[in-house]
Amino acid sequence: MEWLNTLLATPTIGIAFPRDQHRFLSFPPKLGNYLNTITNNGMSISYTTNNELIEISQNNKFTIKIMPNDLSVGFSYQIAAEREPGGIPKINDVNLRPYRELLDETIRVFLDIYKSYFEGLTSPINRLGVVAVVTMKQGDVPPGIKKIIDHIGLPWKSHPLNYNISMRFPLVENGSIVETCMHRLIGIDDERKDFLCLLDWQRLFKTAKAFNATTITAEISDCIKASSEYIQKFGVGELEYFNE
């Protein structure tokens, strides 16, 4: 995932588990403890509770979403608009940070909320996912993605003029584990236009596997390792092509 470090890329981490209404409905009263620890660390928070969704925003950077069957934490850049009397608001520049730093922070926030939500108890998990969303100018597309686009254009002997591709492939099937990756590529054949790449890497457990606070940490780092390897391979262009 080294190539993500120089681009506008943001991570999201999430897990899916068997639907548990009891845990979900009994969480809001305990939410206060979690929010207290965050605010004690000097972070600003805002949260909304909906029918089946609790959404917490930390410092306007991390969005935590809790549902009866899943939990996810995503990072987004904070865009601050300054109000100017008599004028239109001024939007400040965003200082981009390398993806690996953002990912580390996201993991930390995820583990905090995980511990708080499952209260240190073991919990069965169906799926663990790491999502990377990258945007760049079409001219900056890494060689691996370029290769895929070229490969798709082979039957027409040209580049697609514009494309919106979404494809999921199984990567590894190993006993009780299946690893898949959803790729979404959107772009136009023009160097100055924007290009979006979404990589949604997932590890699925055929039968829900039980985890606790310590084993989930190990599992997440294992998933990050596996997904990073795949994303790097995808970006560099080390997947195999029959026409080579």
Partner 1 sequence: MNRPSYRIENTIDEFPEPTSVSHAENTDIEGRKPPYSYLEAKKYYEISAEQSDLITMVRPAIDKNNERKLSLEELLPRKEELYNNRMVLVEKKLEHTITKKEENQLTYIEWQLDRLEDAISGEESDKLDRMVEVHTALAETITRMVDDIKKAKPSAFKTRNKEWTVSKKKR
Name the residues that contact partner 1, by CB under 8 A: 3, 5-8, 10, 12, 14, 16, 19, 51-53, 55, 63, 65, 67, 69-70, 72, 74, 76-77, 79, 93-98, 126-127, 129, 131, 133, 135-137, 140, 142-144, 162, 164, 166, 168, 178, 180, 182, 184, 186-188, 194, 196, 198, 200, 204-208, 235-238, 244
The torsion angles phi and psi of 208, rounded to 5 degrees, stand at -50, 130
Burial, 141: exposed, middle or buried (Cβ in 10 Å; 0-12, 13-18, 19+)? buried
- The helix (run of H) or strand (run of E) holding residue 115 is helix 99-118
Using DSSP's 3-state secondary structure scheme, residue 160 falls into: coil
Q: How far is CA 189 from the centre of its chain?
A: 26
Nearer to partner 1 by C-beta: 142 or 228? Answer: 142
Nearer to partner 1 by C-beta: 36 or 239? Answer: 239
Buried b / exposed e along 95-109 (16+ C-beta atoms within 10 A): eeeebbebbebbbeb
**What minimum distance in Å lies between the beta carbon of 223 and partner 1?**
13
**What minimum distance in Å lies between the beta carbon of 82 and partner 1?**
15
Nearer to partner 1 by C-beta: 108 or 206? Answer: 206
Using DSSP's 3-state secondary structure scheme, residue 224 falls into: helix
Nearer to partner 1 by C-beta: 43 or 236? Answer: 236
**What minimum distance in Å lies between the beta carbon of 186 and partner 1?**
4
Evaluate whether 70 touches 17 at the Cβ level (below 8 Å). yes
Nearer to partner 1 by C-beta: 36 or 94? Answer: 94
